[in-house]
Amino acid sequence: MKESATKPENSAATSEFVTPGGRLESIDFLRGCAAMGVVILHVALSGGIPHAPLWFRIVYGTMLQGWWGVPLFFVISGFCIHLRWAKQKARNNIDRLDFLEFWKRRLHRLYPPYFIVLCLSMLMVYVAYRMGRELPLVAKYPNPQPRWMLYDFFLHVTMLHGFSPSFDTAGGNNVLWSLAREEYFYMMYFVLMFWRRRWNVWVSTIIVLVIGVVANVSFAHSPHWSEFVARSAIVLWFQWCLGMVAVEAYYGLIKLPRWCYSGYMAVLWCLLAGVSRYYLLVATPFLGGMAFFVLLNFCVKLDRTHHWPRNAIVAWLGRVGIFSYSLYLVHNPIRAVLKQLLRPFSYTQNPVQFLVVGAILGLGGYWGAKLFFWVVERHFLNSSRLVSHSRPPAKFDQTVAPKVVEE
């Protein structure tokens, strides 16, 4: 790739992956897709229209597929977090993973925005309770509700809500369940690295897959535990681990089969994952992980070989990827507030009005996230960045190694 000095490498908005000519756009694009998918999902879940016309049922069904943004985030996360180790191993043969430094960087990067949004979300729940609003956010809590709200706040502050089926999706913001999983993945990362050093990345991945499948199948027929276990860190760990495999392939530490970079195979895995939701639900987390693993490899390959598309939609989603964490955090509380402000328009049986209100809810979350990014999140982007200007080892299939900047 051609060298360029036109883009500063210490920009506050810089993402983990920067080529010599700028950002590795494929990663930001995938982040943007994942975040917008979740936003669209929650807009759809704002209501429903029984006996709607066929065209609306198709649109609505498409919007509901936004839940796939979460497993895509997990695969990207594994790619990002393992990047520092993979880069050091590939370029300098350094096998180092400092526990304290790792957690210092992760907590500085992620926890302050999380805590601020949690406080605002729980304040929103308490205000709704004091106003006597019969909302799902308040109905989650048994009596005495203020005491249980305080307990829920404690669980979310400590990120222990992932161990509580009752409060896992509470906290005034149900997306926070996945951020607890991220923290658990970070803890499990050190176990994964022990296995990876003792054996190799393939054995480690197989171990994670077997553990996840056994756990999911064991509780598949339990009405109380099946859904909770299906979104547990043990089951979803495989998705995160696949991102780790992808970044090792990116740096040439391992070699993947050609089908792992195929856009057609990504589509095939997506179809299999979609079908499994109806016929083999216990396989969905693992098939979904494979789908996004192949998709990520495909997109990164396009990017590094200068075939990345340059149209306006792709570029916009790449920009969304820059503030995707803020978008993920704040869109749901903003949606809930706007929905109440737009009453009775937000409770409608008219498909067109439903979509108009949905657009307002989505745009409110989008611009609110941009504001939150500039006011809050950007101040916690890690200023310490690893930038390598060295040429790659011979096994890299690139002419010049990309400069990779890690948050």
Q: How far is CA 2 from the centre of its chain?
A: 31
- pLDDT at position 10 is 33
Q: Is the pLDDT score of 3 beyond 70?
A: no
How far out from the chain centre does Cα 85 lie? 21
Instruction: Give the number of residues written for the chain.
Output: 407
Do residues 289 and 75 lie in contact, with contact meaning Cβ atoms separated by under 8 Å? yes
| Predicted structure pTM score | 0.88
Q: Is the pLDDT of residue 4 over 60?
A: no
> How much is the pLDDT for 20?
42
Mean pLDDT of 194-209: 94
What confidence score (pLDDT) does residue 345 get? Answer: 87
Mean pLDDT of the chain: 87
Instruction: Give the separation between CA 102 and CA 100, rounded to whole angstroms.
Output: 5
145-170 pLDDT tens trace: 999 999 999 999 999 999 999 999 99
Please say whether the beta carbons of 285 and 236 come within 8 A: yes
Structure confidence at residue 382 as a pLDDT band (50, 70, 90): low
Q: What are the pLDDT digits (tens) for 126-150?
A: 999 988 877 888 888 999 999 999 9
Looking at the chain, the whole-number percentage of residues with pLDDT higher than 90 is 74
Q: What is the pLDDT of residue 391?
A: 34
Q: What is the mean pLDDT of residues 189-209?
A: 94
Render pLDDT for 327-354 as a digit per residue (tens, 0 to 9).
Answer: 999 999 999 999 989 988 888 888 999 9
Distance CA 309, CA 103 (A): 36
Is the pLDDT confidence value at 187 over 80? Answer: yes
Which pLDDT does position 377 carry in this prediction?
95
Please compute the mean of the pLDDT values over residues 73-93 and round it to a whole number: 93
180: tokens are 């607890």
Q: Tell me the one-letter amino acid at 239.
A: Q
The mean pLDDT of 7-15, rounded to a whole number, is 34
Dihedral sign from CA coordinates of 195, 16, 289, 335: positive
pLDDT, average across residues 117-126:
95
pLDDT at 344: 82
Q: What is the pLDDT of residue 127?
A: 92
Instruction: Look at residue 388 and tell me whether its pLDDT is greater than 60.
Output: no
pLDDT confidence band for 23 (50 / 70 / 90): low
Confidence of residue 1 (pLDDT cuts 50, 70, 90): very low
Rounded to a whole number of angstroms, the CA Rg of the chain reads 21
